[in-house]
Amino acid sequence: MFIYVNPLNALTEGNPGGKKTTLPGNNKSSQELELSYAIEPFYDVDAFRLIVVVEFAGDKSGETKINLPNNFGSKIDINGIKFLKPLSPNTYLQDTDRPESKIVKHPASSPVRLYYQIEQVRRGDIELGNHYMATINKQYFHFPGETFFIVPAWDEKTEINLRIVWNHMPSNWKLANSFGVNEKYQEQKMQLWKLKYSIFTGGDFRIIKRMVGNNPVFTAIRGKWKFTDDQFSDLLATVLKTERDFWNDHSFPFFLTTVIPISGGGDQGGTGRSNSFALFLSDDRTIDFRFKRLIAHETFHTWIGEKMMFAEPEQLVYWFKEGFTDYYAQILLLRSKLISLEEYVEQYNVILETYFTSPVRYEKNERLINEFWTDKDLMKLPYQRGQIFAHNLNYLILKNSSWKKSLDDFMRDLLLRCSEEALIVSNGSLSALIRFYAGEQILSDIMRTLNSGTAFKTIPEALGPCFKMDVTTKKKLILFGEQYEIPSYKLKNENQQYDKTCLEWFGIY
């Protein structure tokens, strides 16, 4: 089957008003630009692609730089773009010294219209390592924005009026993305970066709706699982309600989670996106502790990552961005009764043993800048450090405030400053807030660990009045090798039942 699209009419089809798409002229502020896409399927003899026509206002200089899609962390460096060409008159494309960028030459301040097709470049199964790449086939498509859209190289904070038209999609396909469900014509006003960090999907998906407060939460799921669609949707709704209640933030008129099968055994991966979350699972996954933590962690990045902006290089602050997110993913699962206190403490003991036996526990924070994505031990380090920092900091904030404030107050204060004062999260801004809430000593300990290559110490009282900390000694090898001192926590009295005091420490009331 072959579908032909007239690219000159592509942006008018699917427009409910039947109006021709217009582009900004010289009177349009550079801070509010229009960006339009028309997308439809293309069936070739041996390939399935999506046709895209993109339209935007050209720069007054007569040259506009564009950025091509990438593969979002995959080692494959081709982008799947085919037949890229200009449609607007007197418009030409020029290569740059960077393969991911091109220059569009055009009449000054005139509309630019480009045509391209894009196909899947992954060969073989979807698996961890290539799962974020665009998937485009006759059954379905799924892609993060940066793997699919050609965009003008405007500042990512530029306000845009985004228009997306989905033309000639198969009648039995379900459409869902970060901006709506089953909408063939979409208009949104946003900053440019939100397009890049969005999720788009369509095809043989099942769409399930839940309400969190007054706001809808959708799941787009395909494949067969060891859990039901309703079990997953109920879990997601509980996690989102708990996190939104924690921040007292319910300004989410829409939220989408996509669930995609991948190959492998016990494998899972996910990424938080604008108004959305993409989840990738092997078909043997069950709703266990690991599964719940992944969902809670990635959705918590809505605040630590999207609503809090981070200074570059971000790797220097991963101990907070990833480690504190892990801490709250688990403690909020505990507060929502999705995990038990026994599970919580057991998992923290696993983190402690992993950290205190890690070959990189003494490494300086700056190594993460260049090696985070290439060294598996270094990749885990900020998560481990952050969890220990968070537990210790919570205790010291409580103690420093005569038990009136906790790490929860610290986090909400930080979000407020990011929102009202445009605070950028960095080691410097975090240091000032840590000093204010918990004093100089904990700040000194954290910074010394990050910058001087020392191991962070756990505070015996960090899990509250019902737990004690023990330290065990272990050698790397039985007869020789490095000796480790490993802390762990257990109940002070093995026969003790968790009373009100034990639970209140973790925010369970």
Does the pLDDT of residue 29 top 70, yes or no?
A: no
Q: Which residues are registered as beta bridge partners of 163?
A: 36, 187
Report pLDDT for 73: 67
* Angle 108-111-113 from CA coordinates, rounded to 5°: 125
Asked whether the predicted pLDDT for residue 22 surpasses 60, the reply is no
DSSP assignment string, 48-91 = EEEEEEEEEEPPTTSEEEEE----TT-S-----EEEEEE-STT-
Pick the CATH number of 32-204 from 2.60.40.3650, 2.40.110.10, 1.10.3720.10, 1.10.150.120: 2.60.40.3650
Q: What does the DSSP 8-state code read for residue 307?
A: I
How confident is the model over 199-207, as a mean pLDDT? 97
pTM value is 0.86
Q: Running DSSP on this structure, what letter comes out for residue 14?
A: T
Confidence category of residue 481, pLDDT binned at 50, 70, 90 = low
CB atoms within 10 A of CB 255: 22
| Span 304-317, pLDDT tens digits | 988 999 999 999 99
- Per-residue confidence at 478, pLDDT binned at 50, 70, 90? low
Q: Find the range with the poorest average confidence among 53-62, 126-135, 226-235.
A: 126-135
On the question of pLDDT at 24 being above 60, the answer is: no
pLDDT at 10 over 70: no
CA separation, residue 185 to residues 90, 164, 227, 381, 428 (Å) = 29, 6, 33, 44, 44
Query: What pLDDT is attached to residue 27?
Result: 39
487 contacts 470 by C-beta, under 8 angstroms: yes
Q: For residue 78, give the nearest of 57, 99, 61 by alpha carbon.
A: 99
Between CA 45 and CA 52 the distance in angstroms is 19
User: In this predicted structure, what is the pLDDT of residue 85?
Assistant: 97
Using DSSP's 3-state secondary structure scheme, residue 263 falls into coil
The pLDDT of residue 279 is: 96
Buried b / exposed e along 70-98 (16+ C-beta atoms within 10 A) = bbbeeeeeebbbeebebebeebeeeeeee
Cis ω for the linkage preceding 69 (within 30 of 0): no
Burial (Cβ within 10 Å: 0-12, 13-18, ≥19) of residue 483? exposed
The token duo for 48 is 């399935």
Average pLDDT for 136-143: 96
The domains of the chain are located at: 32-204, 207-295, 306-459
* Cα end-to-end span (Å), the chain: 61
According to the model, what pLDDT value does residue 336 have?
Answer: 96
pLDDT in tens, 34-87: 999 999 999 988 889 999 999 999 999 999 999 999 877 666 777 899 999 999
* Rg, C-alpha atoms of the chain: 25
> What distance in Å separates the CA atoms of residue 247 and residue 407, rounded to the nearest whole number?
12
Name the average pLDDT for the chain: 90
CATH 1.20.1440.230 describes domain 306-459 = no
pLDDT surpasses 50 at 5: no
pLDDT (average), residues 481-506 = 85
Express as a percent the part of the chain with pLDDT over 90. Answer: 80
